[in-house]
Structure 1
Amino acid sequence: MRDHGSVTSPTPGPRTPAPSAPTPRLIATDLDGTLLHDDKTVSPRTVAALAAAEEAGIEVFFVTGRPARWMDVVSDHVHGHGLAICGNGAAVVDLHGGAGEHRFVKIRELTVPDALDVVRILRATAPGTTFAVERTGGLHHEPTYPPLHLGPGETVAPAEKLLAADFEGASVADQPVLKLLAHHPELDPDEFLALARAGVGDRAAITRSSPSALLEISGPGVSKASTLAMCCAERGIAPTEVVAVGDMPNDMEMLAWAGTSYAMGNAHPEVLASATGRTATNNEDGVARVIEDILAAHAPAQKLHQAQ
């Protein structure tokens, strides 16, 4: 769902962390357009780099807009802790269970009243907007919502019905709402984002990661950055000890929060401006290059830490 064509000029390798920088304790990486190649695979070089980081005592968090059910692509590469931040920060998920067995560790839901407010506002300010509702159990969408990544067994109905207290009975209605998705068939993606943010205000957090006019709407204050900050605080990890990598607007807060951050060579122009460094494109294994340089720069300190 990422826009891989925003920047086409040749890109330099990652900027090596300064010797005075603390040894990173956690690497936070986006998936689509970042860790994954365009064909949605993880390259052998990246697999090796992820394993080497974990072996060196550096935790790796996958931080993505994807729902938990789309995480099988990296479940075999989680190593140690096995946690991922999904839904742009709406959920922390334990991936150890394998396909279909992912366990929600933390949920930061979008309340139904806030979701209904967003639907009402966007219907008025951007006529033609269609919606989908991402709950912990799956996606449900309106009849005219585009079939981007839809799966079987999804309910089709107006958003107001999808959000109703009696929707599909308690088995579905009681599932927390993780995200509201809003699509417009005609508006420019960045124009739609600006319009929605202006209209919705602080009722919800709105971002985008798609090349189309598809907005991802979470609860107030919910973002990749805020959930990553919570997870790091629980581990006693400071922002200065975090390296983050991403490519799209939904990564910007995370890149600004981390002590060291890299925009992919294929990143959205605004993302390039928000990161402290820049790496190669996703198809050129930009994340692996960042990890390799980190390990090379801090190898003596890591060996000392392991010896102690």
Structure 2
Amino acid sequence: MTSASESSLPARPRLIATDLDGTLLRDDKTVSERTVAALADAEEAGIEVFFVTGRPARWMGVVSDHVHRHGLAICANGAVVVDLHGGGELVKVRGLDRGAALDVVQALRDAAPGTVFAVETTGSFNYEPEYPPFIDDPGAHVAPAEKLLQEAGDGAGDAVVKLLAFHPTLTPDGFLTLARTTAGHLASFTRSSPTALLEVSGLGVSKASTLALCCAERGISSDEVVAFGDMPNDVEMLEWAGTSYAMGNAHPDVIAAASGRTVANNEDGVAVIIERLIARVRAQRPDAS
């Protein structure tokens, strides 16, 4: 299943922006050989590839082996830009003010009792005692969010890039709506988990806004960008890009936001579209027969 006509593809795309989990990655968190080949072909054709994800920078090992000339990742929903070629060097940080984060914590505790929190910084991941166990970061500091957000203590010099809020009984979309209504003036709220787990960034920080900044620095317009995603944290990016695709497994809001649709992540939906793009680019070359 793919939709959107060939004429909707940009004549000469300059950048591909793709989400990872549920989009570029298969459900087993691998990148298929077909997708690896498609990314390499895009680079050979002179098209940059940005990985745009909610993942923290330290979780980019899933794709770091598959980067060639690009090597740029927009992580933590736009809060961090990482040069994967430079050993994970942070080239841009758009943090969440600790005072604003504390205000969000208080607002959600009042509006949705039972909410528990975790704090993602540029150098660590820490969480409250009631937060679901997090096996990927066994060295995390466990304490109330108010203490984790204090300036004193380990990692206090690190910028807060994301606050996570989990509720054990609310529906995911219902919790997101409640949070935006209650505290949307304090920070940016989105989600990418099938559970009621919200991701909170600095006000105005999103995949879309950071992607726009990075493209502006390179003289790339939105019309020259092709984007892929599957969850609500991809919506703004898909709306911003001149051409965008919702995965076959995408959330309904993502399908509504995208200009086209491809097959599911387990069917290499990103590779399917990249292959079409590359075939079109090659056909336009003067030496094409």
TM class, shorter-length: over 0.9
State the TM-score, normalized to the length of structure 1. Answer: 0.91
Backbone CA RMSD of aligned residues = 1.5
Cα shift at 1:22? 3.0
Query: How do residues 1-308 of structure 1 correspond to structure 2 at under 5 angstroms?
Result: 12-13=1-2, 15-18=4-7, 21-97=10-86, 101-148=87-134, 150-168=136-154, 172-301=155-284, 303-304=285-286
State how far apart, in whole Å, the 2-side matches of 1:115 and 1:187 are: 21
Letter in 1 for 2:90: F
State how far apart, in whole Å, the 1-side matches of 2:8 and 2:167 are: 47
Tell me which moved more, 59-68 or 12-21: 12-21
Post-superposition CA distance 1:129-161 (Å, at most 9, x none): 000000000200000000245412110000000
State how far apart, in whole Å, the 2-side matches of 1:162 and 1:184 are: 19
Cα shift at 1:304? 4.5
State how far apart, in whole Å, the 2-side matches of 1:305 and 1:28 are: 28
Post-superposition CA distance 1:86-135 (Å, at most 9, x none): 000000001124xxx41100000000011001001000000000000000
State how far apart, in whole Å, the 1-side matches of 2:110 and 2:150 are: 20
State how far apart, in whole Å, the 1-side matches of 2:195 and 2:9 are: 41
CA contact (8 A) 1:131 1:141 kept: yes
CA contact (8 A) 2:79 2:201 kept: yes
Residues 219 and 293 of structure 1: CA distance in aligned 2, closer, same or farther (over 3 Å): same
CA contact (8 A) 1:83 1:94 kept: yes
Greater RCO structure (CA 8 Å; 6+ sep)? 1
Residues 288 and 20 of structure 1: CA distance in aligned 2, closer, same or farther (over 3 Å): closer
State how far apart, in whole Å, the 1-side matches of 2:280 and 2:240 are: 22
Aligned length: 288
1:6 maps to what in 2? none
Cα shift at 1:20? 8.0
Residues 60 and 282 of structure 1: CA distance in aligned 2, closer, same or farther (over 3 Å): same
Residues 147 and 255 of structure 1: CA distance in aligned 2, closer, same or farther (over 3 Å): same
State how far apart, in whole Å, the 2-side matches of 1:28 and 1:196 are: 28
Provide structure 2 residue ranges, at least 5 long, that are not aligned to the other structure.
none
Identity %: 66
CA contact (8 A) 1:232 1:238 kept: yes
Cα shift at 1:15? 3.4
State how far apart, in whole Å, the 2-side matches of 1:156 and 1:78 are: 35
State how far apart, in whole Å, the 1-side matches of 2:53 and 2:271 are: 17
Cα shift at 1:40? 0.1
Residues 13 and 141 of structure 1: CA distance in aligned 2, closer, same or farther (over 3 Å): same
Tell me which moved more, 143-152 or 232-241: 143-152
State how far apart, in whole Å, the 2-side matches of 1:201 and 1:19 are: 34
State how far apart, in whole Å, the 1-side matches of 2:45 and 2:216 are: 21
